[in-house]
Amino acid sequence: MRLTRRSAASARLRAGLAGTAALAFGVMAAALSGPAFAATAVQRAAAVAVATPSTVTAGTMVTLQVTCGSRQATSATLSGTALGLPAQIPMNSQPSGGGVFTVTVTLPGSIRPGTVHPAIGCADGSSAIASVRVAAMPSSADAQAAAGPTSAATNASLSAAGVALIAIGAIAGGIALRRRTGTRS
């Protein structure tokens, strides 16, 4: 019976030592590859996209900018289908670099009012979604109301009063000039 106890204790000790060795090996592997995992985490950071202006009308230009998740991103592509544009639009790298890309596009006149969310993908694997609000085009009635009250009709009495005031001003100016020249002689 003592041999059985010793064998069982010995087996448990060997299993414990093997588990400790495996744990130590795992910790060493994680410590050695930690910087590689950290670099991967940096590359997978979220990208941020901005539209300027954020509210536009059909037929106008909008600039989309993305800051990729990694400063080492070499390119970015706008998915233009949400805007009624080609599916893949390459973006331009900013002179400052750092994973920042922009593109200016003209929205088609047929785009419907509402909020659209074009996607932007970066070469480093990160992506972002911009938000562009497309406002309805103002109608001619809206434009006239914004300009204030206007009328194509003329008012005859106001026109006559204006002409009379101009005539009175001309006569008064003539008299004033005559008095001036009369006193000098």
In the chain, where the domains are located: 1-43, 48-140
Give residue 4's pLDDT. Answer: 52
| Higher-confidence position of 5 and 94 | 94
Strand-pairing partners, residue 78, are 89, 120
**Least confident segment among 148-152, 153-157, 172-176:** 148-152
Query: Per residue in 101-133, pLDDT tens?
Result: 999 999 999 999 999 999 999 999 999 999 999
Query: DSSP state, 112?
Result: P
Query: Per residue in 19-39, pLDDT tens?
Result: 444 444 443 444 444 444 334
Give residue 177's pLDDT. Answer: 81
| Higher-confidence position of 138 and 82 | 82
Tell whether the model's pLDDT for residue 91 goes beyond 90: yes
Cα(60)–Cα(158) distance, rounded to whole angstroms?
A: 42
Instruction: Identify the band that residue 169 occupies on the pLDDT scale cut at 50, 70 and 90.
Output: confident
List the structure tokens of 111. Answer: 């785009």
**Is this prediction's pTM over 0.95?**
no
| Higher-confidence position of 88 and 160 | 88
Give residue 8's pLDDT. Answer: 52
CATH no. for 48-140: 2.60.40.10
Does the N-terminal peptide bond of residue 35 adopt cis geometry, omega within 30 degrees of 0?
no
User: Residue 62: exposed, middle, or buried by beta-carbon count in 10 A (0-12, 13-18, 19+)?
Assistant: buried
Name the residue among 130, 121, 105 with its Cα closest to residue 73: 121
What is the average per-residue pLDDT within 78-99? Answer: 91
